[in-house]
Structure 1
Amino acid sequence: MRVSLSTKFVAAGFAAVLAFVSLVQPALAQLGQVETPARQMIMVDYDTGAVLFEKNADELMPPSSMSKLMTAFMVFEELAAGRLRLEDTLPVSEKAWRIQGSKMFVPIGERVKVEDLLRGVIVQSGNDACIVLAEGIAGSEERFAEMMTERARELGMSRSVFKNASGWPDPEHVMTARELAVLARLIIERFPQYYHYYSEKEFTYGIDGATKKPITQGNRNPLLYKGGGADGLKTGHTEAAGYGLTASAKRGDRRLILVVNGLKSMAERSREAERLMELGFSQFENYKVFSAGAVVDEADVWLGTLARMPLVIERNLTVTMPRQTRGNVKVVVSYDNPIPAPIVKGTPVATLRVEGRDGPITEVPLVAGADAGQLGFTGRISAAISYLLWGSGQK
């Protein structure tokens, strides 16, 4: 018999819990609706994975310089693994020196520190810095691009294809807004020791040949100059892509990730990104539901050494919800009752589903909170008769 229980959780599910570390759990559908001139857009809550807004988020698009996030991710992995150090230097090839578009202005034939190259990629959006790093890691930019695609697949970004390290226009070089959001989240989560580079507002490198003065370039991320908790990540622009931005901002305990693309100008990109961030923080909130190890319910055990099995949530559970719909939430626990023995502690045996006004918000497994062995022959006969007569397990 399938059991679905919710009575005691509807009223108490949000009121009786404390603040705990969030459980990263993707939402089943976007939580809100918004109009935007962006061709592609997605906003994600960093802690819960909930999608607040989206528009054409799975549509393949030219990511332009936002694909430099993947280049940086690859470099971060090399640094974290010890295969590369920030103080290492890499040679500047003629190919890197000649590349057009946004540049760090690395000198041909010289060697440049990895840390400077990273800042050139992240702050200055230097196409030349991307090529120097790619060639230094993989031997060629082409091989590095293949490695980027391979690593993207391993990370679950199944649709991203990279043809170069910089986002230079190529019809086969594509990503989706959703996968850019995934990538931004991974960078923030896995590389906090390097994430601070994304909040730098300017970087000085090289000497201007005409003026003989140092070359200082500003970060192109407009949200860094507007306050509001913004601390990264990367802009992009090509004729085919329009103006794009992958951004993150943190206010208090909440962090949001936003991807927009296909906007018509730098000014529109700036206005729209700021507007969407404000909506995300003002219209939604994170609510802590259960702490790790909490007994959510108990289930009957069929022919086991325990009569009742505690159903336990393994990690802390937080959900993202529109502020105005908080009172319309219920928590439902579903499982097959009774659960047949033997049962090993930690085995998933039930599902907890959080439901809002417009449908499911998220669902997580519940596990057995104890071991339950199977009764011997005589015990099984007695317990079966007891269950059939009284509708409950042995006492």
Structure 2
Amino acid sequence: MKHLSVLALSLLAPVAAWSAVAVAAPPALDNTAYVLMDFDSGRILSERNAQQPLPPASLTKMMTSYLVEQALKSGRLKPDDQVRVSENAWCRGTSAESCMYLPLNGSASVLDMLRGIIIQSGNDASKAVAEHLAGTEASFAGLMNAEAAKLGMKNSHFANATGLPDPTHKASAQDLAILARAIIGNSSEYYGIYAEKEFKYNGIKQGNRNALLYTDPTVDGLKTGHTAEAGYCLTASAKRNGMRLISVVMGTKSMQDRADQTRALFNWGFATWENVKPVSAGVSLAKAPVRFGKVDEVNAGVAKDFIATVPRGQAGAVKSEVQLLPNITAPIAQGATLGKVVVTVDGQVFGEQPLVALEPVEEAGFFKKLWQRILSWFK
């Protein structure tokens, strides 16, 4: 994007440098890895070993449920479609694994299966939907890995739909936060299930193992996990005063620890950080000059709100700068890229977003184009 023309838009007045602002240290946590992410901006607010591939236990089932949700959203699955329970999927009445307790060679609706996966952490439900969607659990694992790559989960590899131990089955805390963000953003029709406290199937009522759902009304998901190898894990999300955070803790020592550590991360995150919207969707940020168009300029803006997560008290340090492409030429479709918007916090680049045409521009007629060419010779 060379020779960009620059229009500085100081949407918010600068204040003291970010480095001059003291940010409270995050809580000290006894776990293998953790990450705290802002949902809207995707910014990592605190982490340790966040990119280390680790056994994810039943946090795996977030990918299983996400693929079911996306299949429902696309119409590939219907909520009342019946899913058969094969002998491979069936739980044999053991207490050694989490089960929905589906009957062998019986069936249940997709929506019941989804609740069984999310609320009851059913290995049987996870395997049954995997076979329903892909033929075999191994083939379904291929779908899981393809979706992980699509979402940008760079340090994960799925070998099964349940999270049962396998030496090749790994996921990082950061990747699981990315997955949780996708579930919240892309599966909103089904996200409410992650907050349900219990589910009864086949006469057996089981409670959601996410203890924070019972003690913190701002928490509305997502998933617990535990194996001897993985320790106690929890991916959770909370929303307070319009701001949503996602937490992942892995390798804690007990159910109580994973709940307490997640609570501490949320309390620190909401007290320490805030979101600022320096650029709003659909608002004209610049008049981009247009060559050979029926009009000589076009309104340029962004297609979606830009959210910047900054330390509390630093909202005034957020600025945005519009950078236009040279020689913007008609015809221009609505939504066509015209440049980019760069957001900075006290001069440090926070992120960028494409600058797009907010309306279409038709190509000018022959005589206007000819006149513009003549004028360009003199310039």
CA gap 1:376/1:69 in 2 versus in 1, 3 angstroms? closer
Q: Where does 1:141-220 land on structure 2 (aligned, <5 Å)?
A: 141-206=137-202, 215-220=204-209
CA gap 1:309/1:171 in 2 versus in 1, 3 angstroms? same
| One-letter code aligned to 1:361 | F
What is the deviation of 1:276?
0.8
Determine the C-alpha separation between the residues in 1 that align with 2:70 and 2:369.
Answer: 54
In structure 1, the partner of 2:346 is 357
Q: Where does 1:54-69 land on structure 2 (aligned, <5 Å)?
A: 54-69=47-62
CA gap 1:243/1:86 in 2 versus in 1, 3 angstroms? same
In structure 2, the partner of 1:72 is 65
CA deviations over 1:132-172 (Å, ceiling 9, x no partner)? 33233333322222232233334443443221111001110
| One-letter code aligned to 1:145 | A
Determine the C-alpha separation between the residues in 1 that align with 2:225 and 2:196.
Answer: 17
CA gap 1:380/1:304 in 2 versus in 1, 3 angstroms? farther
In structure 2, the partner of 1:245 is 234
The reply to whether residue 96 of structure 1 matches residue 83 of structure 2 is no
The reply to whether residue 322 of structure 1 matches residue 311 of structure 2 is yes
Determine the C-alpha separation between the residues in 2 that align with 1:118 and 1:301.
Answer: 51
Match of 2:282 among 293, 298, 316: 293
The reply to whether residue 266 of structure 1 matches residue 255 of structure 2 is yes
What is the deviation of 1:10?
4.4
- Quick check: 36-45 or 306-315, which moved more? 306-315
Match of 1:85 among 57, 79, 84: 79
CA deviations over 1:187-233 (Å, ceiling 9, x no partner)? 22233332222112122334xxxxxxx54322111210122411111
Residues 292, 315 of structure 1: 8 Å contact kept: yes
| One-letter code aligned to 1:11 | A
The reply to whether residue 342 of structure 1 matches residue 329 of structure 2 is yes
Other structure's SS at 1:103 match: coil
CA gap 1:170/1:327 in 2 versus in 1, 3 angstroms? same
Determine the C-alpha separation between the residues in 1 that align with 2:189 and 2:328.
Answer: 47
Determine the C-alpha separation between the residues in 1 that align with 2:77 and 2:295.
Answer: 53
Consecutive unaligned residues in structure 2, runs of 5 or more: 15-22
Residues 4, 332 of structure 1: 8 Å contact kept: yes
In structure 1, the partner of 2:18 is none
Other structure's SS at 1:11 match: coil
- Quick check: 180-189 or 169-178, which moved more? 180-189
What is the deviation of 1:304?
7.9
| One-letter code aligned to 1:101 | E
- Quick check: 288-297 or 259-268, which moved more? 288-297
Residues 230, 248 of structure 1: 8 Å contact kept: yes
User: What's the TM-score, normalizing by structure 2?
Assistant: 0.82
Other structure's SS at 1:144 match: helix
| One-letter code aligned to 2:13 | A
| One-letter code aligned to 1:9 | L
CA gap 1:87/1:352 in 2 versus in 1, 3 angstroms? closer
CA gap 1:305/1:380 in 2 versus in 1, 3 angstroms? farther
Residues 92, 106 of structure 1: 8 Å contact kept: no
CA gap 1:116/1:347 in 2 versus in 1, 3 angstroms? closer
Residues 52, 155 of structure 2: 8 Å contact kept: no
Determine the C-alpha separation between the residues in 2 that align with 1:293 and 1:108.
Answer: 54
Determine the C-alpha separation between the residues in 2 that align with 1:7 and 1:86.
Answer: 52
Identity %: 38
Match of 1:53 among 46, 65, 69: 46
- Quick check: 297-306 or 258-267, which moved more? 297-306
- Quick check: 65-74 or 351-360, which moved more? 351-360
| One-letter code aligned to 2:68 | V
For the aligned residues, what is the CA RMSD? 3.1
CA deviations over 1:43-81 (Å, ceiling 9, x no partner)? 222233233223322221111100011111222233332
In structure 1, the partner of 2:267 is 278
Larger radius of gyration: 1
Other structure's SS at 1:293 match: coil
Aligned length: 359
- Quick check: 185-194 or 258-267, which moved more? 185-194
Determine the C-alpha separation between the residues in 1 that align with 2:271 and 2:175.
Answer: 25
CA gap 1:158/1:84 in 2 versus in 1, 3 angstroms? farther
What is the deviation of 1:303?
8.7
Determine the C-alpha separation between the residues in 2 that align with 1:309 and 1:204.
Answer: 57
In structure 1, the partner of 2:223 is 234
Other structure's SS at 2:170 match: coil
| One-letter code aligned to 1:248 | S
| One-letter code aligned to 1:63 | P
